[in-house]
Amino acid sequence: MRFIFSVILFAFIYSSTNAQGKLIICSEYKQDGSYTGVYSNWFINKTGNFMYLFYESSTAVSDTVFVKLDKQFNRRDSNYYELDHYYLIPSGNKKWAANKYIFTKPGKYRISAYNRNGDLLTAPYYTTVSFAENEYDDLFLKDSWYYESSVIEFYEKAIGDSMVGKNDVFNYQPNNTSVTLYILQQNKKPLQSQHLFVSVYSDDKLHEHISSYPYYIDASWHWTFLPVKMERKGKFIVEIYNDDDVFINSAKIEIK
């Protein structure tokens, strides 16, 4: 079994520990609870590589551990947004829980472990995943030209698979101003992304970042619509990126 990883920091690094335990990513573990290959940075190929998420506890792990993976989707936004979630399986002796996870997307990750009650079990684990250097030349990786036929439209709301109230100017609603963003590949090529990441910026010289929202989609879709919350009045630019932080398109909207 081969793993692609980085040893830049040459150290055994984990995120944090507390009275209950610690969460790590490792390349291998054994049934006695020992593990090897713990790094702060990992390199993957274009189809992804699997690692193990391993939770070690000083108290009995009698149930599955819920794990949420948050990721930075955009280089201009340092916040973390949910990418995925799944479960770690407890060991027979209830001292640890683990599961395989395939990382396919580069970026900075924050990984958190919770019990059934939604309580955080330990401090979040932070790691960075990057494509191996020889993967950058592969045509498999899409750039913005792939989305050159895409269009963005705004609607008042969606009813089933239809949108109504097409416009680029909407009235502000104090409690909840939400518009429906419609994204379409006119050439019918699939969006080829399991997430879309929407960022809202002020349409002025400051280009202030207002908000960001991640969405789960089917990578085979060539169109979809997304609810976007507009937090205040003004003129804005809405930008869309795929889950490799590749720019798809942008459009202007006004809330008055």
Q: How far apart are CA 128 and CA 126, in angstroms?
A: 7
Q: Which of 135, 170, 187 is the last residue of a domain?
A: 135
Residues 176 and 234 in one domain: yes
Q: Which of 226, 235, 173 is nearest to 200 (CA)?
A: 235
Q: Which of 135, 166, 193 is the last residue of a domain?
A: 135
Residues 51 and 163 in one domain: no
Residues 72 and 165 in one domain: no
Mean pLDDT, the chain, rounded, equals 87
Residues 150 and 224 in one domain: yes
Q: What is the CATH number of the domain that holds 148?
A: 2.60.40.1930
**How many domains does the chain fold into?**
2
Q: How far apart are CA 175 and CA 192, in angstroms?
A: 35
Which domain does 130 fall in, by range? 5-135
Residues 110 and 174 in one domain: no
Q: Which of 249, 46, 251, 217 is nearest to 145 (CA)?
A: 249
pLDDT single digits (tens) 39-90: 989 999 878 899 999 999 989 999 999 999 999 987 778 899 999 999 999 9
Residues 103 and 158 in one domain: no
Question: 96-103 and 49-57 as β-strands: parallel, antiparallel, unpaired?
Answer: antiparallel
Q: Are 185 and 193 in contact (CB under 8 A)?
A: no
pLDDT along the chain (256 residues), means of 10: 32 39 94 93 88 94 95 84 94 95 91 94 93 59 78 93 93 92 95 94 92 94 96 95 90 96
Q: Which of 28, 80, 32 is nearest to 54 (CA)?
A: 28
Q: Which of 79, 105, 135 is the last residue of a domain?
A: 135
Residues 85 and 180 in one domain: no
